[in-house]
Chain A
Amino acid sequence: MATLHVIAHSPFGDERLRSCLRLLGADDAVLLCGDAVYALRPGAAPHQQLQQANLADRLFALDEDLQARAIENPLATAVDYPGFVALSLHYDKVNSWL
């Protein structure tokens, strides 16, 4: 059963994103929200980790958090709240990294 992993902490000085990527299943997806979207800043180490994870269309980010932080992001698909709800249902379960 595929999992949508939700991360809401900045990847700088925090282990959540790294651990999540280590344990990610082949069909799992990642949704970044809050300070976790800083991982999408090009040139930063977390951005490289995300690129290497090769998530393609399985990487999402909450649009309001991208906008608020002025993050131009070609790597993740931006979603609004209805999109977040739809993803929660598309995947079999939602694992929030609290």
Chain B
Amino acid sequence: MKFAIAVFSPAHAPSSRRALRYAEAVLAGGHEIARLFFYQDGVHSASANLVVPQDELDVAGQWRAFIQANQLDAVVCIAAALRRGVLDEAEANRYQRPAVNLPAPWELSGLGQLHEAAQLADRLVCFGGD
């Protein structure tokens, strides 16, 4: 079965980690992830500039590794990301901001990508909250 997974919370929220563990279980169960979509405060889960103490879980880093290892389509909503200072190189240049915190494998795009993923998938599962 195909899943579209949407994340609405930042890396420090329990629900970002929960979404990651769920996504891992989806693949481990032999299912497919049509797309990961990061919206609202979920765009912070994609930030490459998070620094966590060595003895704490680096959820953003784990998301990045998971997406790369499984070559997943991971889209960050561009409007939500700009508003929260999550920028790729093109947007940092466009708005003349001093830092880039969204390198590959993440991709900035619009909300249409969420709808497309929901149409492609058998299940749309969203994660947010505590």
Cβ contacts A to B, 27 pairs, < 8 Å? A8-B18, A8-B128, A8-B130, A9-B129, A33-B18, A34-B15, A34-B18, A34-B130, A35-B130, A36-B129, A81-B22, A81-B25, A82-B25, A82-B28, A85-B26, A85-B29, A85-B31, A88-B3, A88-B123, A88-B125, A96-B125, A96-B126, A96-B127, A96-B128, A96-B129, A98-B127, A98-B128
Chain B residues engaging chain A, CB cutoff 8 angstroms: 1, 3, 8, 14-15, 18, 21-22, 24-26, 28-29, 31, 122-130
Counted as pairs of residues, one from A and one from B, with CB atoms less than 8 Å apart, the total is: 61
- Is A24's beta carbon under 8 Å from chain B? no
- Residues from chain A with Cβ under 8 Å of B3 in the complex: 88
- Residues from chain A with Cβ under 8 Å of B1 in the complex: 89
Chain A residues engaging chain B, CB cutoff 8 angstroms: 7-10, 33-36, 62, 81-82, 84-86, 88-89, 93-94, 96-98
